[in-house]
Structure 1
């Protein structure tokens, strides 16, 4: 007989790898947003709040997803 847990194993592995990819993409987006916000501040002296907020939210989501990938078994 087939074990139900063995059929769910590839799904868990796929979810783990997809969450690693999504977490890294979120952190890359955060780095880009912070770089743009810094560049705008350097050039104009105006704080680009929208880029900073997107970068902050993306950082939090990326860290949460990477935590999910680490905990997911």
Structure 2
């Protein structure tokens, strides 16, 4: 049987909560980037590709971090 209070357990919990925080931070960055891209498009009529790409990459990284947090034991 394994000891429920093993030294690896706090590290696993810290990694899990760190992944959750990083995931939601990336998703917040995604939302901010898409809002800025939409505002630029509305004001100028030009598509702000750089903001959209940063938002897309941030969204993918956020989803990967949240997936890591959900499967981390």
TM over 0.5: yes
TM-score, normalization by structure 2 = 0.93
Q: CA deviation at 1:35?
A: 0.2
What is the RMSD computed on CA atoms of the aligned residues? 1.5
Aligned to 1:63: 63
- The runs of 4+ residues in structure 1 deviating greater than 6 Å are none
> 1 CA distance for matches of 2:49 and 2:70?
31
Write 1 or 2 for the structure with the bigger share of helix. 1
TM-score, normalization by structure 1: 0.93
Could you tell me how far 1:6 is from its partner in structure 2? 1.1
